[in-house]
Amino acid sequence: MDGNGRWAKSRNLPRTEGHTEGEENLARLVRVAVKKDVGWLTVFGFSTENWVRPRTEVRHILGLHKKLFGRVAELNELNVRIQWMGRPFDSPEARTPKYVQRAIRKAIADTANNTGMVLTVAFDYGSHAEMVHAARAAAAEGPVTVDTLGAHLYLPELPPVDVLVRTSGEVRISNFMLWQSVGTEVYFTDRAWPDFDGAELDAALALVR
**Applying CB under 6 A, which residues contact ligand FPP?**
1-6, 19, 22-23, 26, 43, 45-46, 50, 61, 64-65, 68, 121, 168
Residues in the chain: 209
Least distance to ligand FPP, CB of residue 173, Å? 15
Nearer to ligand FPP, 4 or 127 (CB): 4
- Report the residue closest to ligand FPP, judged by CB: 5
Least distance to ligand FPP, CB of residue 126, Å? 13
Least distance to ligand FPP, CB of residue 36, Å? 19
Query: Looking at 12, 25, 37, 50, which residue is catalytic?
Result: 50
Nearer to ligand FPP, 19 or 152 (CB): 19
Query: Looking at 2, 4, 25, 124, which residue is catalytic?
Result: 2
Residue 140 is which amino acid?
A
Tell me, yes or no, if 2 is annotated catalytic.
yes
How many angstroms separate the CA atoms of 65 and 112, rounded? Answer: 18
Least distance to ligand FPP, CB of residue 45, Å? 3
Rounded to 5°, angle at Cα 20 from 19 and 24: 110
User: Exposure pattern of 15-24 as b/e (b: 16+ CB <10 Å)?
Assistant: bbbbbbbbbe
Residue 36 exposure: Cα atoms within 13 Å on the Cβ side:
20
How many angstroms separate the CA atoms of 101 and 104, rounded? Answer: 5
CA distances to 16, 26, 75, 113 from 81, rounded to whole Å, are 27, 15, 7, 7
Residue 187 region, left (φ>0) first, then alpha (ψ -120 to 50), else beta?
beta
Nearer to ligand FPP, 2 or 130 (CB): 2
Closest CA to 45 of 74, 31, 73, 25: 25
State the catalytic residues.
2, 50
